[in-house]
Structure 1
């Protein structure tokens, strides 16, 4: 019994966006993330995602760091578990 893994085209970082892992839920639509560039940031969950996308600790997200404050960022995308596993297999994380 072998499982076939089908490669899916995933949303990749554009511009300044980086991969990040959610490390802590801060409340008030804010989360603490550890970015792939080694920086810990406070990320803001935008209104368009608040009721539609549930973000939990350990999730892989795509964040866009602020230009004027490097320790803050906006969440742009949350990856499903299968998509996060695919990113790990391909060496992006």
Structure 2
């Protein structure tokens, strides 16, 4: 990906990340506009903390995140998603 495209992508995601960084554990999460939010996508940070490894794989794949290596813990999988969304916990 070219540097200009990467910067544009980061800029496009910034409002979502700023919002998600400031909400409580029970407030609704925001996702990129092009993402179709369906099960098992978490609606809140609390729900994100309850995702299984299998659900993390589905959500991460839909968000376009890289696959995690075998042996990655569920906590690390959740962290990958929360970092992308801007709600690192």
The reply to whether TM is greater than 0.5 is no
TM-score tier, shorter chain, comes to under 0.3
Point out the structure with the larger helix share. Answer: 2
More strand by share: 1
Give TM-score scaled by structure 2 length. 0.22
